[in-house]
Amino acid sequence: MCGIFGYVTDKEEKLGPILIEAAQRLTYRGYDSVGAATISGIKIDLRKDVGKVDAVAAKYNFAEMTGSRGITQLRWATFGEPSQVNSQPHIDSDGDLVGAHNGNVVNNIELRQQFIAEGLTVRSQNDGETCVHAVERYINRGYEFIDAIRLAYGDLEGDYAFVIGRSNDDKLYAFKKGSGMVVGLGEGFTCVSSDLPSILPLTRNIVRPLDGEIVTLWADRVELRSVKDGKLIEREPELVTETMDAVQKGGYPHFMLKEIHEQSQVATELLHLLDGSPEVETLVNKMMSARHLYFIGCGTSYHAALAGSVYLAQLAGRPAIPVLAPQFISQFAPAVGHEDVGIFVSQSGETKDVLNALEAAEGRGMECFGLANVVGSTLTKSTSFCLPLCCGYEISVPATKTFTNQVVTFLYLAYRMAGKSTKALANIPALMEQTLDMVAEQVKAIAEEINGWNDMYCLGYGGTFPIALEGALKLKEITYAHCEGMLSTEFKHGPLSAVSKGFPIVFVAGPTDTNLIISGINEVNVRGARTIVIAEEDPRLRANADDVIALPKSDPQVSALLGVLPLQLLSYHMSVMRGFDPDFPRNLSKTLTVD
């Protein structure tokens, strides 16, 4: 999500080409706008706009930009639509500070209101500008730069990394909280970035700042200080030996595996954003007063909508109708009106089937809201407002982190409608990490054992039924095997005839559904099936199933969400074992813009 790069040299030179190349090496993170700023003496040269790096750089002639310090940023829109004014970097009120960030400052709106009341010049809706003003307000009060940053750090809530410079200065400053940041040391220069790819072609000597640390960059050295007390921190540089391809993938062999392991991080960022979003309260009120409530999506997004409808009923006692977008048009749209509310779900925000359903709903006067990962997409512009998923760029075609954040959003809304404290959801990211650690080796071993099968079933019940559908879809998408997701109690109504010796059947079981799942296990066990259960540890399941992939203890709703992680890993490993590229399966596209 977004990418920043800062560069400090010991002389005035053409920095434009360096900034362009750094930006190009961060494009894999995803972005909708690009900008660059150079500092030469008292002059700050700022150029930015919506578009791709090459196009914006050519339009504004980035290559001619000169100075002794430079900053470039690729923005993935979250606060403020994609526009020139919301593009980064940003300057302060007087134009002598310039900075850029990645991540989300969740109290952005509150801080902007404070800055306006204090007389600062606020030009955009973007939280990157908020970071600049957060430092500016304390500079204006007479604080030294490091102390101004320390105080600003306490004001900025969320997860972010930020770099800032000042005219007539020879340094850049950077600090982080939750988001990635790497510092590079070269001959006659230093640099800082949100990720290694923009640094490695320049130097392989790096320092990794931690949360709560401030980095000061001169051309010949860097200095780390603690935000807490301002004291110096000693840390020796390290030598990076990975290839560029490995670095872009975070050391993982495929983007899908990297994105599976990013789910805890993006869930943390999403929960912070939802806690700070005033739109959540509005949406909850609309949902509570709706005559009928619809959750509309396709594919993975439909599975998340189905999970959301279960959560809403279980926690808030409120029904919601989950429906595939094309079916909504014929089955529900003719009957909806202004008293009804729909939440339209799409990873890309450009899914044609979802947009068609949205058009039909709006034509009948229904109140329409969105849930999408791409701010500025058609869905975000066509609904009353759209909650962002905060997943950054998902390169692998099979959705992983976008699915889990969709489910987390619906769970968050269900908690709010039920009047439950959402603080209880703060442990979800840690449980995700724990799950992946617990199941990784076992799932890979099971994948090797069942990989010879081209037919299988994935079964769930209640809150795990949507998870079973999603797991089956992942297996179909990237292994090309036929895996059918189904309600476990439906299996005896026909599909049971498909079972033969060793036939793999995966059960996803919630902690309250053990007795029912045991019945399902035994009706296929006696016919020779290989039964694999994903569930919390339970001796009864151990006694009845061939394999139990144990999840950490949690509540039934969170347990269902955690159940998708082993299924993602299972599909990934089977795909690789079959010699397929899980990131780019045949016949599929990330964004489906056709009927």
Q: What is the phi/psi pair of residue 349, to 5°?
A: 75, 5
State the greatest distance between any 2 C-alpha atoms of the chain, in Å, as a whole number: 80
Q: Is 2 a catalytic residue?
A: yes
Report pLDDT for 346.
94
Q: What is the mean pLDDT of residues 222-231?
A: 95
pLDDT of residue 244: 73
Strand pairing partners for 458? 485, 506
Is residue 191 flagged as an active site residue? Answer: no
**What whole-number distance in Å separates Cα of residue 445 and Cα of residue 443?**
5
8 A C-beta contact, residue 359 and residue 331: no
DSSP of 339-375:
T-EEEEEESSS--HHHHHHHHHHHHTT-EEEEEESST
Catalytically annotated residue among 2, 131, 386, 390: 2
Length, in residues, of the chain:
595
User: Residue 143: is it exposed, middle or buried by C-beta count within 10 angstroms (0-12/13-18/19+)?
Assistant: middle
CA 9 to CA 126: how far, in whole Å? 29
Task: Give the residue extent of every domain in the chain.
Answer: 3-248, 277-420, 428-584
pTM of the model: 0.83
DSSP state of 69: E
The band of 590, judged by pLDDT with boundaries at 50, 70 and 90, is low
Q: To which CATH superfamily is domain 428-584 assigned?
A: Glucose-6-phosphate isomerase like protein; domain 1 (3.40.50.10490)
Looking at residue 256, its pLDDT comes to: 96
pLDDT digits (tens, 9 = 90+) for 501-537: 999 999 999 999 988 899 999 899 889 899 999 999 9
What is the gyration radius of the CA atoms in the chain, in angstroms? 25
* CB 50 within 8 Å of CB 76: no
Output the six-digit token pair for 55. Answer: 């196009």
Give the domain 3-248 fold.
Answer: Glutamine Phosphoribosylpyrophosphate, subunit 1, domain 1 (3.60.20)
pLDDT above 70: percentage of residues in the chain: 98
Q: Is the peptide bond before 253 cis (omega within 30 degrees of 0)?
A: no
CA distance 133 to 146: 15
pLDDT at 394 (0 to 100): 86
Phi, psi of 216 (to 5 degrees): -105, 125
pLDDT tens profile 537-576:
999 999 999 999 999 999 999 999 999 999 999 999 999 9
Where do we find the tokens 């109504």? 493
> Whole-angstrom Cα distance, residue 320 to residue 308?
8
Nearest to 295 by CA among 210, 361, 238, 234: 361
Tell me the pLDDT tens digit for each residue of 351-407: 889 999 999 999 999 999 999 988 778 898 899 989 999 888 888 989 999 999 999
> Topology of domain 277-420, per CATH?
Rossmann fold (3.40.50)
pLDDT in the model for residue 496: 85
Phi, psi values for residue 70, rounded to 5°: -145, 150
d(CA 476, CA 487): 17
Q: Which residues lie closer than 8 Å to 521 by C-beta, 6 or more apart? A: 507, 531, 533, 541, 544, 545
Sign for the CA dihedral angle at 234, 3, 423, 464 comes to negative
Average pLDDT, the chain: 93
Q: Is a pLDDT exceeding 80 seen at residue 245? A: no
pLDDT 10s digits, 424-434: 999 999 999 99
Tell me if 277-420 shares its fold with 428-584.
Answer: yes
CB atoms within 10 A of CB 240: 15
Four-residue CA torsion sign, 552, 557, 558, 563:
positive
Dihedral, 523, 524, 527, 530 alpha carbons, nearest 10 = -150
108-117 and 263-276 helices, crossing angle to 10°:
40
Q: What is the pLDDT of residues 99-137, one digit of tens each?
A: 999 988 989 999 999 999 999 999 999 999 999 999 999
To the nearest 10°, report the CA torsion of 478, 482, 488, 491: 180
pLDDT of 291 over the 90 cut: yes
Judge whether residue 587 has pLDDT over 60: yes
Q: How far apart are CA 574 and CA 226, in angstroms?
A: 46
Q: Please give the structure tokens belonging to residue 213.
A: 């640390």
pLDDT band at 70 (very low <50, low <70, confident <90, very high): very high
Q: Counting beta carbons within 10 angstroms of the beta carbon of residue 14, is it exposed (0 to 12), middle (13 to 18) or buried (19 or more)?
A: middle
Residue 255 has pLDDT above 70, yes or no: yes
**Confidence check: pLDDT of 594 > 60:** no
Across the range 200-208, mean pLDDT stands at 93
For the chain, give me the number of helices (H) and strands (E)? 20, 25
Given a cut of 80, whether residue 29 has pLDDT beyond it is no
Q: What percent of the chain has pLDDT over 90?
A: 82
Catalytic residue of the set 52, 352, 444, 590: 590
